[in-house]
């Protein structure tokens, strides 16, 4: 084997040492994948002139661990060679099947250099001669780049050593070793399935059947786990911005861990968003039924006095666990204890101004003011939600702004907010409601 071939295989095995730009939290262990690759190969035999041929392959892969995969590949290659004094290029075409393992010896975010080794068999034919069978062993490496958590692009090369000496038509020379050939491939792999990096925490499962817990209630084990996770993320965010970490945060974290947790909290936010909307719809149904009951009993039972804007006053609240505090504030809101809800949401924002849940808290402050009839304060709160660059509540805030302006009789501003929602969020769940409101304005 000459120095050129040794260098090629070595460079491909080492891969590209580029700093990671992203870390995917979704694990690959236990997942199947499939892909295909195309490239070129060159024969190494007794002959001095062996032009490149072209080939391709398809493969199945299974992740035994986060770093180790087992692969089954099958494909077609062509190998060229020239005989001394003959201008014609002869071609050997072969079909092969390989079973090999690859090991990612480094994981640099999206980039994963790997080594590969295995064995297989092939069936080949030189020009129009008889077809033969042979066995081969392979050794090589490359680099894998994850475009998404479920798709990777690879560049790899390997040396395939055969047990025979007939790939060049049975030529014999001073070289006493068996024939071999070298392949270079560009491939794409798609991974099936996938496990969520963080389970969706069910935060509010007991609201329909159990009393609303008071602030003195002891948190459950699930609440403690979620709170620990959210507080840890807050500490990491403070460290990323150069802020002084709280004295209780003793863990040393890496960039990879921060990105992983950042991805998990985004998924958790989406779960929270869905739960909030489900609960909100249920509360509206309950409120509607309660209104019917109150109307029937109006002559017998005095109606409950509506909370007016003057009843809204906030008092300082100490926040120790963001998960427990956030859930407690929502419970206060749905229990129509708006002043207490606003106090807790405001305290969360004050302590964690850059947390992923900050915009949610700001939105529920607006909802609390709106439900209490303080529409001017509600408008101010919803406008602040729109100032957050990353928020899941933007279309919710626009919808509530339109409603608040309607309550104040400012129809022009209401129309402007509703049209803005239709333009910026055409797929929002509020589109149908907005169109109904616009017909009334």
Span 122-166, pLDDT tens digits: 999 988 888 989 999 999 999 999 999 889 999 999 999 999 888
Q: Which CATH number, 2.40.160.20, 3.40.50.720, 2.30.40.10, 2.40.100.10, labels domain 3-191?
A: 2.40.160.20
pLDDT for the residue numbered 228: 58
Q: Where do the domains of the chain lie?
A: 3-191, 221-298+307-392
Do 138 and 106 meet the contact criterion of CB atoms below 8 Å apart?
no
Helix (H) or strand (E) holding 437: helix 431-440
pLDDT for the residue numbered 239: 56
Do 179 and 168 meet the contact criterion of CB atoms below 8 Å apart?
yes
436 versus 130: the higher-pLDDT residue is: 436
Number of residues assigned to the chain = 441
Q: What percent of the chain has pLDDT over 90?
A: 46
pLDDT for the residue numbered 296: 64
Give mean pLDDT, residues 316-336: 83
pLDDT for the residue numbered 407: 94
Give mean pLDDT, residues 295-311: 47
pLDDT for the residue numbered 382: 95
Q: Quick one: CATH architecture of 221-298+307-392?
A: Alpha Horseshoe (1.25)
In the chain, the N- to C-terminal Cα span, in Å, equals: 83
pLDDT for the residue numbered 227: 55
Q: What percent of the chain has pLDDT over 70?
A: 70
Long-range contacts from 382-385, C-beta under 8 angstroms, 24+ separation:
385/359
Do 92 and 82 meet the contact criterion of CB atoms below 8 Å apart?
no
pLDDT one-digit tens code per residue, 343-393: 999 999 998 888 888 999 999 999 999 999 999 999 999 999 999 988 889
pLDDT one-digit tens code per residue, 268-294: 777 777 777 777 677 667 766 766 666
pLDDT above 90 for 24: no
pLDDT above 60 for 396: yes
- Provide the 8-state DSSP code for 307: P
pLDDT one-digit tens code per residue, 230-240: 666 555 555 55
224 versus 58: the higher-pLDDT residue is: 58
pLDDT for the residue numbered 253: 54
166 versus 214: the higher-pLDDT residue is: 166
Three-state DSSP state, 435: helix
- Among 379, 31, 23, which Cα is nearest to 194's? 31
Give mean pLDDT, residues 332-350: 92
Do 72 and 59 meet the contact criterion of CB atoms below 8 Å apart?
yes
pLDDT one-digit tens code per residue, 86-128: 888 889 999 999 999 999 999 888 999 999 999 999 999 988 8
Integer Cα distance of 44 and 133 in angstroms: 18
Q: Other C-beta atoms within 10 Å of 22: how many? A: 11
Alpha helices in 18-137 (DSSP H): none
pLDDT band at 174 (very low <50, low <70, confident <90, very high): low
- Among 77, 64, 87, which Cα is nearest to 184's? 77
pLDDT band at 13 (very low <50, low <70, confident <90, very high): very low
pLDDT for the residue numbered 46: 77
Hey, which residues does 58 pair with through a beta bridge? 36, 74
Instruction: Classify the C-alpha dihedral 421-427-430-432 as positive or negative.
Output: positive
Residues 6 or more apart whose CB falls under 8 angstroms from that of 201 comprise: 222, 226, 268, 271, 272
pLDDT band at 41 (very low <50, low <70, confident <90, very high): very high
Residue 303: exposure state from Cβ atoms within 10 A (0-12, 13-18, ≥19): exposed
Q: What is the dihedral of CA 168, 172, 176, 181, to 10 degrees?
A: -10
pLDDT for the residue numbered 50: 87
């Amino acid at each position: 084997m000459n120095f050129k071939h040794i260098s090629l295989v070595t460079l491909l095995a080492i891969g590209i040492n580029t700093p990671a730009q992203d870390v995917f939290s979704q694990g690959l262990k236990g997942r199947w994948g499939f892909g295909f690759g195309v490239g070129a190969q060159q024969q190494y035999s007794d002959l001095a002139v062996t032009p490149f041929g072209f080939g391709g392959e398809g493969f199945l892969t299974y992740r035994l661990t986060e770093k180790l995969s087992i692969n089954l590949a099958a494909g077609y290659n062509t190998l060229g060679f020239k005989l001394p004094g003959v201008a014609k290029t002869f071609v050997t075409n072969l079909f092969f099947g390989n079973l090999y393992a690859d090991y990612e010896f480094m994981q640099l975010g999206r980039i994963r250099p790997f080594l590969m080794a295995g064995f297989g068999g092939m069936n080949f034919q030189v020009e129009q001669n008889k077809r033969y069978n042979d066995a081969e062993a392979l050794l090589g490496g490359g680099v894998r780049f994850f475009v998404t958590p479920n798709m990777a692009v690879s560049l790899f090369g390997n040396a395939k050593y055969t047990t025979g000496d007939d790939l060049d038509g049975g030529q014999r020379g001073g070289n006493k070793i068996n024939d071999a050939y070298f392949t270079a491939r560009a491939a794409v792999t798609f991974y099936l399935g996938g496990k969520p990096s963080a389970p969706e925490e069910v935060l509010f499962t007991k609201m329909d059947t159990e009393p609303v817990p008071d602030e003195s209630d002891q948190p459950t084990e699930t609440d403690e786990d979620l709170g620990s996770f959210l507080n840890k993320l807050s500490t990491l965010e403070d460290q990323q911005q150069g802020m002084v970490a709280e004295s209780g945060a003793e863990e040393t974290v890496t960039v990879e861990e921060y990105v992983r947790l950042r991805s998990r909290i985004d998924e958790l936010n989406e779960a929270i968003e869905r739960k909030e909307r489900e609960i909100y719809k249920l509360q509206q149904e309950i409120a509607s039924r309660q209104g019917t009951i109150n109307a029937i009993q109006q002559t017998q039972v005095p109606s409950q006095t509506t909370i007016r804007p003057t009843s809204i006053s906030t008092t300082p609240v100490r926040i120790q666990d963001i998960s427990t505090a956030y859930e407690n504030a929502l419970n206060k809101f749905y229990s129509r204890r708006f002043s207490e809800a606003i106090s807790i949401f405001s305290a969360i924002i004050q302590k964690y101004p850059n947390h992923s849940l900050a915009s949610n808290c700001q939105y529920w402050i607006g909802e609390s003011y709106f439900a209490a009839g303080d529409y001017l304060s509600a408008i101010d709160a919803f406008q602040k939600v729109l100032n957050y660059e990353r928020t899941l509540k933007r279309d919710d805030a626009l919808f509530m702004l339109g409603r608040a302006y309607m309550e104040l009789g400012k129809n022009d501003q209401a129309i402007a907010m509703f049209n803005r929602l239709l333009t910026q969020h055409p797929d929002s769940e509020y589109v149908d409601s907005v169109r109904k409101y616009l017909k009334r304005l």
